[in-house]
Amino acid sequence: MKKSLLTVASGLAVASVLAACSGDDTSNEGSSEGSSGTQEITFWAPFSGADGPNMEQIVNEFNDSQDEVAVDFQIVPQSEYYTTLDLSLSGQQEGADVMIMHGDQIMTYANQNIIKNLDDIVGDQISQDNYHPTAWEGAEVDGSIYGVPLDIHPLMFYYNKDLFEAAGLDPEAPPTNREEFLEAAIATTNGEGQYGFAVPTLWPQQFIFPTVVYQNGGELITDDGEVQYDSPEAVEALEFLHSLIYEHEVSPADIQQDGELTLFLQGNSAMHMNGPWMMNQFEESGMNYGVAPVPQLGTEQQAVFANSHNFVIPETVQDDAKIEAITTFLNYVDENGMAWAESGQAPASKAVYESDEFNEMKQQPEVAKQFEYVQFSPNVENWGPVSDPLFSAVNEVLLNQSEPQEALEQAAQDAQASLQ
Amino acid sequence: MKSKASGFTSFLFVLPYLIMFTLFLVFPLIYGIYISFHDWNLISPIHPFVGLENYSAIFISGTPENRVFLNGLKNTAQFVIYSVPLLVIVGLGLAMLVNSLPEKIRGFFRTAYFLPYAISVSVIAVLWLWMLDSNSGLMNQFLNSLGMDSIPWLTRLPFAWISLVIATVWWTIGFNMIIFINALNEVPEDLYEAAEIDGASKWHKFLHITLPTIRPIMIFVIITSTIASFNVYGQPYLMTRGGPGESTEVLLMGIVQQAFQLRQMGSAAAMAMLMALIMIVISVGQFLVTRSGERKEKNNA
């Protein structure tokens, strides 16, 4: 009996995991003054992928360019990033002095007053005019600025030029609207395992479905917190994606996680939608791909769903000299962010995206073309969990296991309940 | 009668374990219970006491907590029911198979079957994700070459469960097998010899000698397998993402989301406590049922 109780107890490890997490996990030295009057600032970012070295290059160049401020750049893996952030911030201890935060997370942290309202700093030390206005708005909560934009990453449209050419399409003229998109998709589907556009049923549907909803003139949640997952615009968007699989048959059914990506990389799917961060993978695959703004698949207007990277400062950073050191660094990134563009992203700094060097790149100008009409996630806290019922519904419908209207109504109901 | 000194020496020997046990199990457990009585937002400095509110939210129908917990529990229970019998039966079957091999190759197969157990779940998941890919996976290409239709392994029920169970059995079966091999080696050889003289068939020997002798080990394997299956997380999280819809979204996925995406540690801790309670009840139940079966048999004998 004793033995079995011990094994039972091991099951309780779940509880221990949860409890242990609220303990002090990250104790960072909060030293502000280094030797010989150099301000040291700690900078956290989730760039554990191919983009890490690009940011590191900017930081190194900054550190070499002057000797008043020394930035200590630390990469926290993406999957653990916000948990690590939370633990450091909840400990009310000094973790990072400046850190990267996604646009859809800013509101949650701003409402808890744990990231700094930058209204006083802006104008004085940071110039709003240096950034794309949409990016700036994305970092605002209730009219106050909480983050300094680094980039905007909207959904992108990728296509296989070889397959376009083989189907008699112009490889330099990617589709721009629903009609052209369908034509291209039908032309590149051959009925022998090659498809026009493999429709994902999971990620990155989180970017694709909202894009079509916004293009239909709809929205996901109103500013008053009314969930609109079952609006006619949303239902139409889902019916359209569904029709690609089951009516036009330009996509196979039953695609599981990453299945659409595999098909695109194998040359078995002519078109693909994903974030600009995929560039490196497509480059390395050696395929002859093209990249363009997402075609207008909706019926009303051009729009594209996006997220963004922003620099935020924890409320715990109070020392004026330190804040000045941080803004010195941010202004340097603003002026010298070309290395970030080389990762495939489009920086939100005019100094970068308006430059000739930037506009000669392959993917990056296409990303920046979409800045004008990007749509960020709705103004709610915890967009991730609030949108979960929606993307479960999208998943079920695209697997032909639910009706669009019914599934979206249920999702709207569940999301509304979690907002209250 | 033991001397005080030897008692102290024994205490010293268990001390390291005791410290670890307290540090990593007792303390977190108590802390977890404490958190579950508070409105514990991870990024808020204030954690007001709310009594049993976190628990009642789980039981009131219609709340998000209720939905997450019940759906998760239902799916986890399904996984336990599908996987545990296979983990026990296949484990025992493999053990007998490996044991009956010639001694020279026995070690090789024992290692081969045990090897997957040493691999991390993320590797296992990626491996099976590639093999079970609906459109370009190995499994479906194999089926197609035999003239059969593709199977939507990860996107349709019941196949999603079948895939998760297959991956789990392949991953963890080696552990149960090793335990059963040891148990089988402990069965006294003379019992089989005696039975053979009495003319017992192989099946009878298995039923009346092997099974009763390894019963305590069997109970151990059933209980540990149940606990392990209850804690399922990585396979559905990485292979099906809880889909289709939310039909393979297991309890731990819901709890982790509650804790780290919604940052509601209080409600997540309450769910974890309930989950632990359910596991304790089931394990004790399993133990009592199997023990009473043992007693009955002894009385009959």
| Residue A119 DSSP SS3 | coil
For residue B158, cis peptide bond before it (omega within 30 degrees of 0)? yes
Q: How far is A260 from chain B (nearest CA, A)?
A: 9
**DSSP label of B210:** I
Nearest residue on chain A to B28, alpha-carbon basis: A16
Give start and end residues of each alpha helix (H) in chain B. 4-21, 27-36, 53-59, 64-99, 103-114, 121-131, 138-145, 159-186, 189-197, 202-205, 211-230, 234-239, 251-256, 265-300
Helices B211-230 and B64-99 pack at an angle, to 10 degrees, of: 150
Reading the block at residue A291, the tokens are 């990249």
* Spatial distance between the Cα atoms of A245 and B49, rounded to a whole number of angstroms: 51
User: Tell me, what's the pLDDT at A37?
Assistant: 76
Confidence of residue A302 (pLDDT cuts 50, 70, 90): very high
- Among A2, A16, A408, the strongest candidate for a mutation testing the B interface, having the largest count of B CBs within 10 A, is A16
Reading the block at residue A68, the tokens are 């008043």
* Spatial distance between the Cα atoms of B114 and B117, rounded to a whole number of angstroms: 6
Classify B63-300 by CATH class. Answer: mainly alpha
Q: Does the beta carbon of B24 lie under 8 angstroms from any beta carbon of chain A?
A: yes
Q: Does the beta carbon of A142 lie under 8 angstroms from any beta carbon of chain B?
A: no
Confidence of residue A9 (pLDDT cuts 50, 70, 90): very low
User: Tell me, what's the pLDDT at A87?
Assistant: 83
User: Tell me, what's the pLDDT at A80?
Assistant: 87
A6 found inside a domain? no
Confidence of residue B296 (pLDDT cuts 50, 70, 90): low
Kindly list the strands in the beta sheet with A289-292, ordered across the sheet, starting from the edge strand earlier in the chain. Answer: A195-197, A269-274, A156-160, A289-292
Q: For residue A71, list its beta bridge partners.
A: A41
Residues recorded for chain B:
301
A202 and A230 in a single domain? The answer is yes
Give the number of domains in chain A.
2
CA A170, A215, A235: angle at the middle one, nearest 5? 115
| Strands annotated E in A120-268 | 140-141, 144-145, 148-154, 156-160, 195-197
Asked if the model's pLDDT at residue A18 lies above 60, the reply is no
B239, B128 Cβ separation under 8 angstroms: yes
A163 and A251 in a single domain? The answer is yes
Q: Does the beta carbon of A78 lie under 8 angstroms from any beta carbon of chain B?
A: no
| Strands annotated E in A147-252 | 148-154, 156-160, 195-197
Q: Give the mean pLDDT of A186-210.
A: 94
Reading the block at residue B108, the tokens are 């090789």
Q: Does the beta carbon of B73 lie under 8 angstroms from any beta carbon of chain A?
A: no
How many Cα atoms sit within 13 Å of A376 on the Cβ side?
A: 24
A10 found inside a domain? no
Q: Nearest CB to B28: which of A8, A20, A112?
A: A20
Residue-range definition of the domain harbouring residue A175? 156-306+379-419
Confidence of residue A6 (pLDDT cuts 50, 70, 90): very low
Reading the block at residue A344, the tokens are 């495939």
Q: What residues does each domain of chain B span?
A: 63-300
* Spatial distance between the Cα atoms of A125 and A326, rounded to a whole number of angstroms: 10
User: Could you read off the pLDDT of A96-128 as tens digits, one per residue?
Assistant: 999 999 999 999 999 988 899 999 888 778 889
pTM, to two decimals: 0.85
A166 and A148 in a single domain? The answer is no
Contact A8 B279 (CB under 8 A): yes
A13 found inside a domain? no
| Chain A with chain B: Cβ pairs closer than 8 A | 183
Q: Give the mean pLDDT of A257-269.
A: 93
- Among A112, A256, A403, the strongest candidate for a mutation testing the B interface, having the largest count of B CBs within 10 A, is A256
Reading the block at residue A186, the tokens are 């039908």
At which residue do the structure tokens 């078109």 appear?
A271
The enclosing H or E element of A99 equals strand A98-102
A388 and A296 in a single domain? The answer is yes
Per-chain mean pLDDT for chain A:
88
Contact A396 B244 (CB under 8 A): yes
A385 found inside a domain? yes
- Among B21, B43, B176, the strongest candidate for a mutation testing the A interface, having the largest count of A CBs within 10 A, is B43
A400 found inside a domain? yes
Q: Give the mean pLDDT of A278-304.
A: 94
- Among A12, A93, A203, A261, the strongest candidate for a mutation testing the B interface, having the largest count of B CBs within 10 A, is A12
* Spatial distance between the Cα atoms of A263 and A138, rounded to a whole number of angstroms: 34
Nearest residue on chain B to A265, alpha-carbon basis: B136
A327, A121 Cβ separation under 8 angstroms: yes
Closest by CA to A69, choosing from A31, A37, A30, is A37
A114 and A232 in a single domain? The answer is no
Nearest residue on chain A to B238, alpha-carbon basis: A257
A290 and A189 in a single domain? The answer is yes
User: Tell me, what's the pLDDT at A92?
Assistant: 52
Confidence of residue A31 (pLDDT cuts 50, 70, 90): very low
Q: What Rg, from alpha-carbon coordinates, does chain B have?
A: 24
Contact A7 B244 (CB under 8 A): no
* Spatial distance between the Cα atoms of A242 and A250, rounded to a whole number of angstroms: 11
Q: Give the mean pLDDT of A22-45.
A: 59
Q: pLDDT higher for A335 or A89?
A: A335
Instruction: Please report, as a single letter, which amino acid is at residue B232.
Output: V
Nearest residue on chain B to A195, alpha-carbon basis: B135
Q: What residues of chain A, 196 to 225, have a C-beta less than 8 Å from chain B?
A: 198, 201-203
Reading the block at residue B213, the tokens are 């002798």
A58 and A186 in a single domain? The answer is no
A96 and A49 in a single domain? The answer is yes
Q: What residues of chain A, 95 to 114, have a C-beta less than 8 Å from chain B?
A: 108-109, 112, 114
With a CB cutoff of 8 Å and minimum separation 6, the contacts of B138 are B130, B131
Q: Give the mean pLDDT of B111-138.
A: 92
A223 and A122 in a single domain? The answer is no
Asked if the model's pLDDT at residue B218 lies above 80, the reply is yes
Confidence of residue A38 (pLDDT cuts 50, 70, 90): confident
User: Tell me, what's the pLDDT at A69?
Assistant: 93
A403 and A334 in a single domain? The answer is no
- Among A18, A265, A419, A420, the strongest candidate for a mutation testing the B interface, having the largest count of B CBs within 10 A, is A18
User: Tell me, what's the pLDDT at A107?
Assistant: 93
User: Tell me, what's the pLDDT at B282?
Assistant: 93
A49, A308 Cβ separation under 8 angstroms: no
For residue B16, cis peptide bond before it (omega within 30 degrees of 0)? no
What one-character-per-residue DSSP string does A217-230 give? Answer: T--SB-TT--B-TT
Question: CA torsion sign, A379 to A384 to A389 to A391?
Answer: positive
A5 found inside a domain? no
Instruction: Please report, as a single letter, which amino acid is at residue A84.
Output: T
A273, A158 Cβ separation under 8 angstroms: yes
Q: Give the mean pLDDT of A61-89.
A: 90
A369, A299 Cβ separation under 8 angstroms: no
Nearest residue on chain A to B248, alpha-carbon basis: A392
A86, A112 Cβ separation under 8 angstroms: no
Contacts of A259 in chain B (CB under 8 A): 133-136
Q: Nearest CB to B243: which of A3, A20, A395?
A: A395
Contacts of A9 in chain B (CB under 8 A): 25
* Spatial distance between the Cα atoms of A127 and A354, rounded to a whole number of angstroms: 16
Q: Does the beta carbon of A4 lie under 8 angstroms from any beta carbon of chain B?
A: yes
Q: Does the beta carbon of B275 lie under 8 angstroms from any beta carbon of chain A?
A: yes
Q: For residue A311, list its beta bridge partners.
A: A100, A148
Q: How far is A385 from chain B (nearest CA, A)?
A: 7
Q: What residues of chain B, 92 to 131, have a C-beta less than 8 Å from chain A?
A: 129
Asked if the model's pLDDT at residue B269 lies above 80, the reply is yes
User: Could you read off the pLDDT of B87-109 as tens digits, one per residue?
Assistant: 999 999 999 999 999 989 999 99
Contact A90 B243 (CB under 8 A): no
A196 and A242 in a single domain? The answer is yes
Q: Does the beta carbon of B290 lie under 8 angstroms from any beta carbon of chain A?
A: no
pLDDT over 70, % of chain B: 95
Q: Give the mean pLDDT of A226-231.
A: 95
User: Could you read off the pLDDT of B26-71 as tens digits, one per residue?
Assistant: 999 999 999 999 999 888 878 899 989 999 999 998 888 999 999 9
Contact B239 A7 (CB under 8 A): no
Q: What is the CATH number of the domain that holds A203?
A: 3.40.190.10
Q: Give the mean pLDDT of B124-151.
A: 92
10 Å Cβ neighbour count for A156? 25
| Residue A131 DSSP SS3 | strand
Q: Does the beta carbon of B144 lie under 8 angstroms from any beta carbon of chain A?
A: no
* Spatial distance between the Cα atoms of B58 and B41, rounded to a whole number of angstroms: 17
User: Tell me, what's the pLDDT at A14?
Assistant: 38
A232 and A315 in a single domain? The answer is no
Q: pLDDT higher for A24 or B285?
A: B285
- End-to-end Cα separation, chain A, in angstroms: 46
